[in-house]
Chain A
Amino acid sequence: DAKTTQPNSMESNEEEPVHLPCNHSTISGTDYIHWYRQLPSQGPEYVIHGLTSNVNNRMASLAIAEDRKSSTLILHRATLRDAAVYYCILRAFSNSGYALNFGKGTSLLVTP
Chain B
Amino acid sequence: EPEVTQTPSHQVTQMGQEVILRCVPISNHLYFYWYRQILGQKVEFLVSFYNNEISEKSEIFDDQFSVERPDGSNFTLKIRSTKLEDSAMYFCASSEGQGITTNEKLFFGSGTQLSVL
Majority-rule SS of A interface residues: loop
B53-77 to A contact mask, C-beta < 8 Å, 1/0: 0011110000000000000000000
Binary contact track A19-60/B, C-beta < 8 Å → 1, others 0: 000000000000010101010001111100100000000000
Q: What residues of chain B lie closer than 8 Å to A103, measured between beta carbons?
A: 42
B56 engages A104 (CB within 8 Å): no
Is B108's CB under 8 angstroms from A102's CB?
no
A47 to chain B: closest residue by CB: B105
List A79-112 residues whose CB lies under 8 Å from chain B: 87, 91, 93-105
Please report the total number of A residues contacting B with Cβ < 8 Å.
Answer: 25
A99 adjacent to B93 (CB under 8 Å): no
Is there an interface contact between A98 and B95, defined as CB atoms closer than 8 Å? yes
How long is the Cα–Cα vector from A80 to B109 in the complex, in angstroms? 22
Interface size of B by Cβ–Cβ distance < 8 Å?
Answer: 27
Inter-chain CA distance A109–B106, complex, in Å, is 24
B46: min CB distance to chain A, Å: 9
Interchain CB contact under 8 A, B100 and A43: no
- A98 partner residues in chain B, CB cutoff 8 A: 31, 33, 48, 55-56, 95, 98-99, 104, 106
Going nearest first, the 9 A-B pairs with the smallest beta carbon separation are A97-B56, A43-B108, A102-B43, A46-B105, A95-B99, A97-B55, A99-B45, A43-B91, A97-B48
19 further A-B contacts with Cβ under 8 Å, apart from A49-B104, A98-B48, are A34-B104, A34-B105, A36-B106, A38-B43, A43-B110, A46-B107, A94-B99, A95-B99, A96-B99, A97-B48, A97-B57, A97-B98, A98-B56, A98-B106, A99-B48, A99-B56, A100-B106, A102-B44, A105-B42
Question: B residues within 8 Å of A by Cβ?
Answer: 4, 31, 33, 35, 42-45, 48, 55-58, 91, 93, 95, 98-100, 104-111
11 contacts between A and B (CB under 8 A): A42-B110, A44-B91, A49-B104, A49-B105, A93-B99, A96-B99, A98-B56, A98-B98, A102-B45, A103-B42, A105-B42
